[in-house]
Amino acid sequence: MNRRSIFSAASAALLLSMAQGSVVFAENPLLKIGFVGVTSGPAAAWGISNQRSMETRAAWINEIGGYKIGHVMYDIEIVSFDDQKDPKRAIAGMEKMAQEGIHYVVGPNVDNGAAAVRPVAEASGIMYFPYAFPKELYTAPASNAVLGMVANYQSGPAIYKYLIDEKGVKTVAFIAANESDPLSQRDSGLAAAEALGLEAVSANVTYQVDTTDFTPVLTPVIRTNPDLLVLSGVSPANAPQLIRSARELGFEGLISTETAQDAQVLREGAGDLANGFISVGGASTPEIASDMMNEFVARYTDMFGEYNDESNTKVYALEYILATLAANPAGIDDVEEFKMTMDTFEAPNPYMKGDAVLRYVGTSSFGQRRQLSVPLVVNVFNNGEFETLLVAEVD
Amino acid sequence: MEQVIANGLYLGAQYAMIALGLTLIFALMNVLNFAHGQMYVIGGFVTYTFYGQFEIPFIFALLASCATLAILGALIERFLFGPVIRRSSREESTMLLAAGIAFLLDAVILLVFGEKQRGVPKIVNGVFNWDFRIIMPYDRILICVIAILSIVAFISFMHFSKTGRALRALAQDRVAAELMGVNVKRYSMIGFALGAMLAGLVGGLLVTITGVNLGMGGPTSIKAFLMVMIGGAGVISGAIAGGFILGMLEAVGLAVLSQYGDITYLAIFIALMVFLAIRPQGLMGKPWG
């Protein structure tokens, strides 16, 4: 084959592939779903696990021909915006979503970002799914925010009660990073612990967000010798270092947190010292993960090289949005229709074994259904893997 | 109190190591290298890759970090800082360039190494425990000793080697050094590579203790600048003193002020502002630059 014919063949192949691509795009209209969250800096793991979960699921849906809403098959496009954990950037991100005509946005990841975007979301007709815990976001008159995970004031009491009953815990110490999310989680955790009869022996110690060496920070806490050390709102980056420092300082009690963690990060950062560490997870442990969840993990790993256990929780938001729209297609352009559907919506939970369902909850915490029913799975880390300690349900 | 002093000495040794590279680059080129923290992070990730992933002996992984950062530093000086310094006499040009490099390296780190916190197996197991008065894991003691030995080796290199003397001459007076036959272009590149290599060395050492993640770069740079301000910009002994002073202040503050919340660095910043108002050149810096 001479050079000219090679060029002709390559050109033909290129034109053919372009034509095929355009045919695929022409077949299905696009449904844009937004993500506004932190994908850079020390807390990047939180937002990136969100974004990648959405991108993995969207690619999967598009590969099998789209998602059926009403009589139309849609291809899903994820539009992402890095808010750098800055409320001003989060507002800019939500404005960008509004400009693009997007009505459903996952994020932001932190309290102040979620609070900041509320006016923009409400004015622009956007439903958003934050991973932030302030109750006023989900309580009337607010109605556009839907909590994407289990809040610490819901998981904390379940964990403390279990540890009181099963492990005989009587005293507790709290340590938190000096920023809004961890501090508010510490305060609500402290209130829950005291309500259950635990004695708080230390609750004032905080650390800078960018701390890398926790031994000096933990030294005064460990000297109070609590039965349980709670790492309030701890980020996955800090958890292994805190655990390691606490154990090296001779702490032999229990350590827990109400945030989701990643097994590999714990394995690398703390190794066997993290054995017994209790955290909140999602539907991924072998006991409860469905075949679809396992396939999601495999596809995520194929796309990004490595899975993040935080995605066990974050896989849900996009699924809820799409399933709710499928239940009421009028919601695609009208979030009021979406809100009405939320009250009665119910669908099988594809990520859990058994007869678990997707539905909106939150009436006991917020007085209205403004929370995704994500399984409250409490994990314990042992020998490099998470094991399910208990499974519960909010509401 | 013994534990506080031990914590302070350990923190001081690692901080001094971080500040050394920054102050060396400033002394040689009058460049505020805002990307120093990112270089430290890359050093940590390289050691993580070789030691944690490929299971190559730690010492070789550490050497790989040093070599990687030395090459990166040389390239950055040769193709970025060198030309900018020659073409622009405005100091903010190099500052903006340094900030741009910091952002670029952050993006590269995210792409290459991902968003997760990374850690490596401990290089030494066990914990030194003196009757619960001083508790210090052996790996921290080892890293502290290596850091101090590295500082001594660096100072010796600067004093007794031909390259070190040339670099010091360059730092004292660039024009005079050139007139005395020092190849300014070449030694600028060597000096920048050496500063970056120090960042790689400390990143590689500390990944065994603190792990590494992509968000560490900015805060590390800020702490390094704090130390340099305390000790005096461009003065090697000042950077070392600044590192140990900051480490000790942090350890004491966290022990004494812990029950009042996270006010240690607030107190340190206030003290630093007062100190700089009285002595703007730092402890060992010269008022004329």
Q: Which of A221, A212, A229 shows the shortest CA–CA distance to A279?
A: A229
Using the predicted structure, report yes or no on whether residue A20 has a pLDDT greater than 70. no
Contacts of residue A126, Cβ cutoff 8 Å, sequence gap at least 6: A34, A94, A97, A98, A102, A103, A104, A105, A120, A144, A335
CA distance A196 to B166: 69
- What does chain B come to in residues? 289
Chain A residues within 8 A of B138 when measuring between CB atoms = none
The DSSP 8-state label assigned to residue A67 in this structure reads: E
Q: Is B52 on the interface with A (CB under 8 A)?
A: yes
pLDDT score, position A173: 96
Q: What is the pLDDT of residue A93?
A: 96
* pLDDT-derived band at B46, boundaries 50, 70, 90: very high
The total number of structural domains that make up chain B: 1
Q: Sorting pLDDT into bands at 50, 70 and 90, what band is A92?
A: very high
With an 8 Å Cβ cutoff, is B53 touching chain A? Answer: no
- A384 inside 8 A of chain B by CB: no
**What pLDDT is recorded for position A23?**
42
**CB of A250 within 8 Å of any CB in chain B?**
yes
Is the pLDDT assigned to residue A335 strictly greater than 70? yes
Using a CB-CB cut-off of 8 Å, the residues of chain A touching B262 are 178, 206-208
Rounded Cα–Cα distance for residues B206 and B73 (Å): 20
| pLDDT above 90 (res A381) | yes
Substitution target in A210, A221, A301, A303 with the highest count of B β-carbons within 10 Å is A210
Q: Where are the alpha helices (DSSP H) in chain A?
A: 3-27, 44-63, 87-99, 111-116, 118-124, 152-167, 180-195, 215-222, 239-248, 263-269, 291-304, 311-314, 316-327, 335-342, 363-366
Name the residue among A182, A181, A209, A153 with its Cα closest to residue A87: A181
Contact indicator for A308, A299 with CB cutoff of 8 Å: no
Of A41, A204, A241, the CB nearest to B215: A41
Residue A351 has pLDDT above 60, yes or no: yes
What lies within 8 Å, CB to CB, of A268 at 6+ separation is A240, B52, B117, B118, B119, B120, B211
Please tell me the distance from the alpha carbon of residue A216 to that of residue A343, in angstroms, as a whole number: 50
Q: Domain residue spans in chain A?
A: 12-149+287-374, 152-259
Percentage, residues of chain A above pLDDT 70: 92
- Would you say residue A186 has pLDDT above 60? yes
**Residue with tokens 């919340």, as numbered in its chain:** B261
Interface test with A, best of B14, B116, B246 (most A CBs within 10 A): B116
Mutation target to probe the A interface, by most A beta carbons within 10 A, among B108, B202, B254 is B254
pLDDT at B209 over 50: yes
Q: Are A315 and A307 in contact (CB under 8 A)?
A: no
Q: Which two tokens stand for residue A227?
A: 């039965």
Q: How confident is the model at residue A284 (pLDDT cuts 50, 70, 90)?
A: low
Residues within 8 A of B (CB atoms), A 46-85 only: 48
Residue, of B267 and B89, whose pLDDT is higher? B267
- For the question of whether the overall pTM of this predicted structure is more than 0.90, the answer is no
Please say if the pLDDT value at position B288 is more than 60.
no
* Residue A165 forms contact with B (CB below 8 Å): no
Residue B161 maps to a domain:
yes
Distance CA A216, CA A238 (A): 14
Distance CA A216, CA B6 (A): 10
Burial class (CB in 10 A: 0-12, 13-18, 19+), A327: middle
B253: confidence class by pLDDT, cuts 50, 70, 90: confident
Give domain status of residue B286, yes or no. Answer: no
The 10s digit of each residue's pLDDT in B197-208 is: 999 999 999 999
* Token duo for residue A356: 């678990």
Other C-beta atoms within 10 Å of B57: how many? 11
Give B20→chain A minimum CA distance, Å.
19
The minimal CB distance from A44 to the residues B127, B132, B215 is found for: B215
Confidence of residue B129 (pLDDT cuts 50, 70, 90): confident
B278 domain-assigned: no
| C-beta of residue A180 within 8 angstroms of C-beta of residue A110 | yes
- Same CATH fold assignment for domains A12-149+287-374 and A152-259: yes
Predicted pLDDT at A7: 45
Considering CB atoms only, which of B4, B210, B260 is closest to A212? B210
pLDDT of amino acid A244: 92
Task: Give pLDDT, residue B1.
Answer: 76
Instruction: Please identify, in words, the CATH class of the domain defined by A12-149+287-374.
Output: alpha beta
What is the mean pLDDT of the segment spanning B74-91?
90
- The reply to whether residue B262 touches residue A208, judged by beta carbons under 8 angstroms, is yes
For the purposes of burial, counting CB atoms within 10 Å of the CB of A6, is it exposed (0-12), middle (13-18) or buried (19 or more)?
exposed
Instruction: Indicate whether B285 belongs to any domain.
Output: no
Selected residues 240-279 of chain B with any CB under 8 Å from a CB in chain A = 250-251, 254-255, 258-262, 265
User: What residue of A is the nearest CA neighbor of B6?
Assistant: A216
A152-259 has which fold?
Answer: Rossmann fold (3.40.50)
Distance from CA of B57 to the nearest CA of A (A): 17
What residue numbers bound the domain in which B198 lies?
A: 17-214
Q: Flag whether pLDDT at B121 surpasses 50.
A: yes
Q: Looking at residue A3, what is its pLDDT?
A: 47
Q: Can the peptide bond before residue A141 be classed as cis, meaning omega within 30 degrees of 0?
A: yes
DSSP A267: H
Torsions phi, psi of A279, nearest 5?
-145, 175
Of the candidates B40, B71, B46, which has an alpha carbon nearest to the alpha carbon of residue B60? Answer: B46
- Mean pLDDT across the stretch B168-177? 87
**B130 φ, ψ to 5°?**
-100, 85
Q: What is the mean pLDDT of residues A307-318?
A: 89
pLDDT band (50, 70, 90) for residue A202: very high
Write down the pLDDT at residue A10.
47
Q: Which residue has the higher pLDDT, B40 or A10?
A: B40
pLDDT for res B287: 60
- Distance in angstroms (rounded) separating the CA atoms of residues A18 and B14: 55
